[in-house]
Amino acid sequence: MTKKHRWGIIGCGKIAQKFATSLKTIDNAVLYAVASRDGEKAKSFAKTNGAKLWFDNYEMLASHPDVHIIYIATPHSLHYEHTMLAVDYKKHVLCEKPLAINAIQTRKMIQAARNKRVFMMEAMWMRFNPAIRKLVEILNAKIIGEITQIQADFCVELPYDKLGRVFNPELGGGAMLDVGVYPLNFAYLVFGEDPIQAESSAKMGETGVDYQSAYMLKYKSGAIAMLSSSVEFNKPNEAWIYGTKGHIHLPLFYKPQVIHIHMNGGSTETLQIPFVSTGYSYEAEAVMESIEQGRNECALMPLHQTLNVIELMDRFRNSWGFKYPGE
């Protein structure tokens, strides 16, 4: 009989619900326990999603001996505290993006996971999407030749709530940490290295966080990435990858279900690659596969690239003179 990995969820918010829905599609995973600051919310979330146990505090879940892997689904500024709590109890961790609000926290989290010999990964679900995995194959095969330029945006108009996690600096709000992390991570996925030049520009909003920001990266090959993010207006959120032999267009690049390949001679090909359920099962499966293979990080989203992205975001925030409370 296949071993069932017992998952626990910390924070019963919106993404936790989507993740729990996806978990149900995986044979060797079970949502075993959930924890909320509010007992009634935890109880209701457990009932909706078939979890055996629910707790009204996070530490009870983290310390429960039958919970193997913990998914952290709290606001950015709390990822550090909640991940460290889980790691302290020797739990494997999948923590929502960004892994932490800055590189100092990220390095401490990575070190703690290494010391306790537990698995840790940033829940950058984009990288596990079947179409993105296919894209990587296409790029490695150099179908469009050498990459010359990429463009990617993640701009969404999110409901304004100055106390909510998206706009509130206390909760690690701002466009770059919330959605800019996707195009920046995408650039690392495509180029696999640090840029040799990186510049950015931000519009800071009334709550003190960036409501929109844009990033321009240059690589040693001369290739350029033009990326942007916003939490106050919508864009189509596509990615374009230009190469010496053709270009690729990814509609909704962070969760694509289609890849358009356009060759310079005029031929085009469209690949349809749908994902199942809410799309979060792939990252969960990758976590479990890594753990079964005795690996404490996942090759598809290695911790050093999580750190590379957060270091870049630190640099950009420094250039805007923007610090989160307590930094």
Binding status of residue 210 toward ligand NAP by CB under 6 A: no
CA distance 203 to 213: 6
Rounded Cα–Cα distance for residues 92 and 114 (Å)? 11
By CB under 6 A, name the one of 29, 96, 99, 118 that touches ligand NAP: 96
Stretch of residues binding ligand NAP (CB under 6 A), selected from 11-19, 107-115, 144-152, 226-234: 11-19
Residue 273: phi and psi, rounded to 5, are -135, 85
**How many residues are given for the chain?**
327
In the bound state with ligand NAP, the residue whose beta carbon lies nearer, of 93 and 171, is 171
Spell 264-278 as b/e; 16+ CB within 10 A means b. eeeeeeeeeeebeeb
Q: Which is nearest to 72 in space by CA: 119, 21, 37, 123? A: 123
Shortest distance (Å) from residue 77 CB to ligand NAP: 8
Judged by beta carbon, residue 33 or residue 78, the one nearer ligand NAP is 78
Toward ligand NAP, which CB reaches closer, 16 or 190?
16
Nearer to ligand NAP, 96 or 247 (CB): 96
75 binds ligand NAP (CB under 6 A): yes
**Residue 127 lies near ligand NAP (rule: CB under 6 A):** no
CB 124 within 8 A of CB 306: yes
Choice from 165, 247, 249, 317 touching ligand NAP (CB under 6 A)? 165
The string over 66-80, giving b where at least 16 C-beta atoms fall within 10 Å of a residue's C-beta and e elsewhere, is ebbbbbbbbbbbbbb
What does the alpha-carbon distance between residue 122 and residue 98 come to, in Å, rounded to a whole number? Answer: 7
| Among 6, 7, 12, 174, interactor with ligand NAP by CB under 6 A | 12
Does 41 participate in binding ligand NAP (rule CB under 6 A)? yes
Q: Footprint of ligand NAP on this chain (CB under 6 A)?
A: 11-16, 36-38, 41, 73-76, 78, 96-97, 123, 125, 165, 171, 178
